[in-house]
Amino acid sequence: MTTTWYNFNKMTSNTSPFPFVASASSEYNHEYEAWRSFNGARHPYQQWVTNKNDTEGWNQIYVKDPVLVNVIKMCSGTDGTHASGAGIMPQWLEILGSNDGVSFESLGVFTTPLWIKNQEREFVFNNKKLFSYFRISVKNAGATGWGVGFDEVYFGFNPDYLKPENKTLILSNDEYKKFNYKTDEILTYEKIVMNLTSNSSNGYEVSGTTALTSAPLFHVFDGNNGTHFRSNSGTTADIILKLPTKKRIGKFILTPYASSYPVKYGLYASNDGVIWTTLKEGNFNSTGTYEREQILDNKNQYIYYKFSALSNSGGSYVYIYEIEFFKTIVEKNAIPAHWSTVSTALPTSTQFLEQGMDNLSPLLDRKVTTFEPMPMINKSEILGVGEIGKVFSKTIDLKKYFDIRSMKVEVK
């Protein structure tokens, strides 16, 4: 099913139109107020941004009538400057709901790849509650001279995103058990700070394609976007990094040079420098010097990692400003689908309601109902030969009325 997007994005100030109210942890100035993320406009100076150099904050909207939201769409600005484009966009965000504006319930937490200008991303979360306040808390490394914020945010609902709750109890081997669906691992990423000063420094070793003497390989790992690597010749290049110890790398960011930057790429891993495992191959879709971020489906630790520029954007060389590697931190392990024991004795009513069948009240609540007089249909034709009398009938929905306590028949 398609997503239904609520018509909230029509604000003209923090308090209009009625009944909407926008507020934020801080506002950079009058051009970057809270309501500008809910006004439906996608152009410069129509974003919310926190105070200068803030690296976290929140923006919220009050919509009066509680609604069910389980997806948001967040947008970056339409140009490349910090204030109007990708520089202010969050690298971490949390979506919260409330019905009093004081006590908020977390609905979903997300880490995000780096943004580019004029980009839209949807964030889906399993929410089954109606709220009248929606807050988005954000964090960012902080754009120099600016804060953190976002362009437009849309709130929506899609029934396909609702996860079913399993509350089935089964008696097996004298134990009452319930089925638990699998849960995915929750990952975060931590940058590996190398700050290399040569091809062999700080416990790291760099090798690969022959580089121009003034633009050596280690420049891509020196933490300085003012230096760069350039291949001595050729439109392809390999850069091999040997770590001091094995690490599970889950993300990398490449900052390309203004020209002759990698387009088609590959990232590979090894524990002997001879046999390589492919972690990812593809094409960078963006152009120019915007950072390219890639998440890796890597579940193993390796000591060697190789970045290969398999083609470039033009010219006779390969240029790269910086490559940053991020080790994977497992915040919560994946749990496979499994059965768990609820009780070894007959479950209590509380256990049954919380972990077993849903409370069926009022579906099974019973009450006495008196019918209004109902005319009956003469069915006397069913009498056999020689039988005397009259037969009348009336159909009653026994799915709704479980039993008939008494009956009074009047023949007129």
Which run of H or of E encompasses 268?
strand 264-270
Q: From residue 45, give the alpha-carbon distance in Å to each of 48, 76, 143, 147, 384.
A: 9, 12, 16, 14, 90
**How many CB atoms neighbour CB 312 within 10 A?**
24
Structure tokens at 146: 């600016």
CATH class in words for 4-161 = mainly beta
Cα separation of 77 and 84, whole Å?
Answer: 5
Structure tokens at 114: 């780096």
- The predicted pLDDT at position 166 comes to 60
Closest CA to 230 of 253, 202, 258: 258
- The predicted pLDDT at position 14 comes to 97
Cα separation of 314 and 235, whole Å?
Answer: 8
pLDDT averaged per 10 residues, the chain (length 412): 90 95 94 93 81 90 95 83 68 94 94 81 92 94 70 93 70 81 80 95 96 96 93 95 96 88 95 96 71 86 97 93 92 84 79 62 61 78 83 72 67 66
Cα separation of 204 and 198, whole Å?
Answer: 9
CATH of domain 189-332: 2.60.120.260
Cα separation of 257 and 255, whole Å?
Answer: 7
Structure tokens at 243: 């770590």
- The predicted pLDDT at position 26 comes to 95
Predicted TM-score (pTM) of the model is 0.54
- The predicted pLDDT at position 402 comes to 58
Q: How far apart are the first and last CA of the chain?
A: 56
Query: What sign does the CA torsion over 293, 299, 304, 307 have?
Result: negative
Contacts of 408 (CB under 8 A, 6+ apart): none
Structure tokens at 159: 């029934």
- The predicted pLDDT at position 277 comes to 97
Cα separation of 46 and 34, whole Å?
Answer: 10
Q: From residue 221, give the alpha-carbon distance in Å to each of 139, 261, 272.
A: 25, 16, 21
Cα separation of 292 and 248, whole Å?
Answer: 20
Query: Looking at the chain, which residues constitute the CATH 2.60.120.260 domain(s)?
Result: 4-161, 189-332
